[in-house]
Structure 1
């Protein structure tokens, strides 16, 4: 009797996995949002010099909006979904500090000079104390989170905002590149637009984090 080849079947998908259709839908939405945001940046580039890439410009405002949305999503994940309480608390401190830092111009002008540093300190120090005190629980949560798609987006956004945009937006690099044609707006646009893209990635990461926690909560 001839050997019958074994019947191969695809392994069942994990309850925490993302379906192909959902992946395509979310990817399309993310691309459309990036396209819309870049159209806003193009519109801002045509404004008078005093408004382009300034504290009250479109790019800076979108950065603050991304951070605010990320903070709200983290609060929802932590307080409503009860997921990753230590990891989400640390990220909330990071995003909250960045949001306060983005308002430095207004805080220094209308509250007092150095107000943003004081607020960041009051926010971050208690959170760091709590995380260090519960570091073992934090590590266990982080090990699970690090395997998710949300973590990949978070790592990409973090590197883009806090590393690449700072290096790419250095004034000396743009002065060397443009020489006598150097105008500060080139440097500002390069840094702020790159930073905005990083904040978009971080916001997408928080969306994916919320969806990931919801899938974990419904896992049988």
Structure 2
């Protein structure tokens, strides 16, 4: 009977998670619709879509940083993760750094990278095994799938040449921008959700104890 109760609770939790993920995914085109059809902002740097990109990267950064504090046996792995998403966050805010000069975002990104590597090196033996064990968890799937979508799929699927070929004389760069920014929002949504779920699950902790 106890096992049946546990199975029911697990099933209900999975159902709630599935519905939550569906709602998150449905929110992505809704946000793009708000930007383009309600607010009238055609994917500028200050659009709602771009703001949510920044929030997604920031949430991931905080989750991995918090994990590095809570789980010293995984510190180097989680610090590198936090550093990666912090750099993505800086890149998303490049329009603010451009007020200093164009391309200035590279310098705070390099400083962040250097600090992250330095901190990680102060915790030897806490990168390779935690990283490999973390990848066994289902939560990690959301993170690395979102990251792969962000750095590969959105760049290829959002190229102007592709959409010029599809739309021919009717090509409108605003369509391409909406598609690319929407896909980036999807990516950051998956990354943020996976990061929060990973923190709740202890990242690699369950596998390292086994």
- Fold shared per TM-score above 0.5: yes
Structure 1 counterpart of 2:151, from 144, 162, 172: 162
CA contact (8 A) 2:91 2:105 kept: yes
Q: What runs of 5+ residues in structure 1 fail to find an aligned partner?
A: 1-9
CA contact (8 A) 2:64 2:195 kept: yes
Q: What runs of 5+ residues in structure 2 fail to find an aligned partner?
A: none
Q: Post-superposition shift, 1:28? A: 1.5
Larger of the two Rg values belongs to structure = 1
- Return the alpha-carbon distance in structure 2 between the equivalents of residues 117 and 38 of structure 1: 30
* Residue 65 (structure 1) aligns with: 55
The one-character-per-residue Cα deviations of 1:8-50 (angstroms, maximum 9, x if unpaired) are xx9xx9xxxx93322222221222122234322112121576x
Q: TM-score, normalised by structure 2?
A: 0.85
1:39 counterpart = 2:30: yes
* Residue 110 (structure 2) aligns with: 121
Q: 1:81 to 1:142 in 2, by over 3 A?
A: closer
Q: TM-score, normalised by structure 1?
A: 0.81
Q: 1:48 to 1:35 in 2, by over 3 A?
A: closer
CA RMSD of aligned residues (A): 2.7
- Return the alpha-carbon distance in structure 2 between the equivalents of residues 83 and 162 of structure 1: 29
- Return the alpha-carbon distance in structure 2 between the equivalents of residues 155 and 33 of structure 1: 17
1:29 counterpart = 2:5: no
Report SS of the residue matched to 1:53: coil
> How many pairs were matched up?
202
